[in-house]
Amino acid sequence: MDNEVRHTDAAHGTDAVHAFDVTVEIPQGSRNKYEMDHSVGRIRLDRMLFTSTQYPADYGYIVGTLGRDGDPLDALVLVGDPTFPGCTVECRAIGMFVMRDEKGMDEKILCVPAHDPRHTSVQDIEDIPEFDRLEITHFFEVYKDLEPGKSVEGSHWEGRDLTYAEIAAARRRAAVRGD
């Protein structure tokens, strides 16, 4: 599959839905922070979260992108049940959580599985219940609280249009770097 494709969304009669692959590093509900070690192609345990929080969704990265932090663009995938580290999920973006941490701006793309009928009505960030957005916000605002030298200083949500603009920019950064 091309990493970004246009396909018809039969439920909405549109061909403007973009799909892309997300590689899951951390399953929903985990306190373990796994990261892909791209130099060896393996997932490594980075650390266990210092707080008692758990990842509110499957967490990984969008293949073929480069975020502003120098890593592939982070992604959260809303799935009914957790997947597993290394699982590839074809997704579409619905919004973006933007935060500032000790390293600078850090964008996290909120996604749903591209062909999951449970999410056909979910097209933009406002389609996600407010409580679910608050839960994700809370997680990212506190998950580094007990870690020395780490912090989160501010955050907000952006809609689908700005999200796809950031994905396109991250693809251009990856292309320039040769990824």
pLDDT in tens, 62-94: 999 999 989 999 999 999 899 999 999 999 999
> Which tokens go with 49?
């979260």
Beta bridge partners of 5: 19
Q: How far is residue 119's CA from residue 79's CA, in Å, rounded to a whole number?
A: 10
Q: How confident is the model at residue 3 (pLDDT cuts 50, 70, 90)?
A: very low
Whether 82 maps to a domain, the answer reads yes
pLDDT at 24: 98
Whether 6 maps to a domain, the answer reads no
pLDDT in tens, 45-57: 999 999 999 999 9
Whether 98 maps to a domain, the answer reads yes
Assess whether pLDDT exceeds 90 at residue 44: yes
Number of domains in the chain: 1
21, 58, 74, 106: which one is catalytic? 106
145 carries an active-site annotation: no
Whether 4 maps to a domain, the answer reads no
Answer for the pair 27, 84: CB distance below 8 angstroms, yes or no.
yes
Assess whether pLDDT exceeds 70 at residue 102: yes
Task: Kindly write down the DSSP assignment for every residue of 50-110, as one continuous string.
Answer: SSS---SSEEEEETT---TTSSPPEEEE--SS---TT-EEEEEEEEEEEEEETTEEEEEEE
Whether 12 maps to a domain, the answer reads no
Whether 67 maps to a domain, the answer reads yes
Answer for the pair 98, 158: CB distance below 8 angstroms, yes or no.
yes
Whether 2 maps to a domain, the answer reads no
pLDDT at 7: 36
- Residue 90's domain spans which residues? 17-177
Q: State the CATH number of the domain containing residue 153.
A: 3.90.80.10
| Rounded percentage of the chain residues whose pLDDT exceeds 90 | 74
Whether 11 maps to a domain, the answer reads no
Q: 165-179 burial, b if ≥16 CB within 10 A, otherwise e?
A: ebbebbbebbeeeee
